[in-house]
Structure 1
């Protein structure tokens, strides 16, 4: 099929993999604010896609439960798409908390299967969510100059998570040159906001719920990161999709990598202080560990620059500290997830390519 029958040919059609996840659900909601039809793909059934409840029902949204490694199904879902936002991947970056093959089996294999699905009818642009962790430990790498036209440092991952993202980027780059679509690797920093289920901000709020009198920080608190609110992140992703190619190059590039991060950074100690200040009734003692690494494999300081992204006209709305503060407030305000809905009612769409009851 070219596109679903109810999508007019002149209306942009976007496909989002990993659509039921934290960033994916915000991206779907963002896309639906414009003249766009969205095909949302995730491995979880609609009944479990709680984060997408705010985006539906919408006649322009079609949700499909599908394994990212199912090339045949993906071929039917992506045919006719103008943009493909590839967010489906392993999301656990702590090696001790995941299977040793998760990055290979999910991130890499899922990306390769998707690229095979796109080969016959490529979209205009594929934007893949990568990670700042492809750079590995920054010691000796230097900091990219603000506004640099290309990443100043080659990927040198020091974790399996970073290695999986770097490998997926390589396959994306090769497919872009072989097939002819424009490809962008969006190397995300720490993305925070409503609906997040992991990361330091989520962990601190969870610990304060258990014990509002004491907050323990792994490491000495000096670990420094760029924090970007998810609303600024999804705006960056759509900016990258719509850009005609490298703004300062005469010939658009088949593959480009951008750091998607804030213009500043903040420390783990500051994140802890913000969490305590915002948590209702908390008067917590903040206890610190020793050493600059929170856990084995942790990277103390990640230095990235959004210079190339700023060159496309994108600007973050919130600073790192403001993004953390907003995310803490959003997590505190989140209520208990709604009861699981009947998968046969209220869902935004079904697919003939999937089993009945799994649209």
Structure 2
């Protein structure tokens, strides 16, 4: 019996819908665009290029064509979601909205809480208002595991969240509340996804706040030391970007009314320690590049670091039919090759 995702592929191929992907020139967004183009969909991207790159869209179109999809590029609109009129204009004629545009960095939000609020709260409200006015079929948005805040639980369950520890976490919680309100008050079908530690090709390895996996790959390929904060036994739920795309598209097209107005964890549902992550990456980089990768250098624990974090994915599996296709090792193999 085909999976929900396989069935979706059959349903969409030859049945072109029009999709708006905000933040579509970014890491996760460009993979969403790639999949939609691969399946013959019409795609418009709204991105201000503060984090995204047009090169990502070119890579997405090329990969889609190689996978049997259309060669045409997504229609690109440069713009900011804090511009209410831009949101109203670009959403016209859309069937589905996948809203990924955001300030995505916890440290940056700590430095610029006002900018975080403008982008993540006001910007998302602009998109919700535009989606309501345009009567789109579905509005799917990115939330974050950051909303769990100070709650102490090895496996995070959607109904139990703690107090926010950053302006970023607070902004994502507000997004969830407002999206649920738009469903309850106006009937706009919204679905939120709480991403855990997403990784994959096109993730930016540069900058002070880059994610650990692209940072480590960049250092390893250059023969530099990799630093681990603490003893390396901290665990995270690392989820490959193509599985995140699966969850987004299932959320956008589900006919399960129990999913509307809800939020779902998106992760692998399994915890990986930093030591385990290092060992797999060391093997992959040495195998693919021939570079001799030195062992890790351990440093002090970072203040405020969560010891363990893992997604309970029961709800997303039961209501959306989500089934991860990638182990961490399989995803890392593709990620190293992508760099």
Q: Which residue of 2 aligns with 1:7?
A: none
Separation (CA, whole Å) in 2 of partners of 1:60 and 1:82: 18
Q: Which residue of 1 aligns with 2:168?
A: 161
Deviation string for 1:185-224 (max 9, x for gaps)? 1000111110001311011122224444x32212221111
Deviation string for 1:77-124 (max 9, x for gaps)? 112322100000011123588523332121112101111222322211
Q: Which residue of 2 aligns with 1:260?
A: 266
Find 1:13's aligned residue among 9, 18, 24: 18
Q: Which residue of 2 aligns with 1:122?
A: 135
The structure carrying a bigger helix percent of its residues is 2
Which protein has greater RCO, CA pairs closer than 8 Å, 6+ apart? Answer: 1
Give the match's secondary structure for 1:257. strand
Structure 1 pair 98/50, CA: closer, same or farther in 2 (3 Å)?
A: farther
Q: Which residue of 2 aligns with 1:52?
A: 57
Separation (CA, whole Å) in 2 of partners of 1:48 and 1:321: 27
State TM-score, norm by structure 2.
0.83
**How far did 1:329 drift?**
3.4
Separation (CA, whole Å) in 2 of partners of 1:184 and 1:43: 24
Separation (CA, whole Å) in 2 of partners of 1:200 and 1:142: 20
Structure 1: tracts of 5 or more residues without a match: 1-9, 146-150, 247-251, 332-359
Structure 1 pair 50/296, CA: closer, same or farther in 2 (3 Å)?
A: farther
Separation (CA, whole Å) in 2 of partners of 1:53 and 1:11: 20
Find 1:202's aligned residue among 214, 219, 224: 214
Find 1:80's aligned residue among 93, 104, 107: 93
Separation (CA, whole Å) in 2 of partners of 1:168 and 1:28: 23
1:36 equivalent to 2:33? Answer: no
**How far did 1:235 drift?**
1.1
Cα RMSD for the two superposed structures: 2.4
Q: Which residue of 1 aligns with 2:145?
A: 132
1:329 equivalent to 2:337? Answer: yes
Find 2:32's aligned residue among 27, 34, 37: 27
Q: Which residue of 2 aligns with 1:242?
A: 253
Question: Is 1:138–1:302's contact at 8 Å kept on the other side of the alignment?
Answer: no
Q: Which residue of 2 aligns with 1:276?
A: 282
For the pair shown, which has the larger CA radius of gyration, 1 or 2? Answer: 1
Structure 1 pair 309/96, CA: closer, same or farther in 2 (3 Å)?
A: closer
Moved over 6 A (4+): none
1:277-316 mapped onto 2 (5 Å cutoff): 277-279=283-285, 280-291=290-301, 295-311=302-318, 312-316=320-324
Question: Is 2:238–2:271's contact at 8 Å kept on the other side of the alignment?
Answer: yes
Give the match's secondary structure for 1:109. helix
Question: Is 2:57–2:73's contact at 8 Å kept on the other side of the alignment?
Answer: no
Range 197-206 or range 182-191, more displaced:
197-206
1:170 equivalent to 2:180? Answer: no
Deviation string for 1:314-347 (max 9, x for gaps)? 211112343234323322xxxxxxxxxxxxxxxx
1:99 equivalent to 2:105? Answer: no
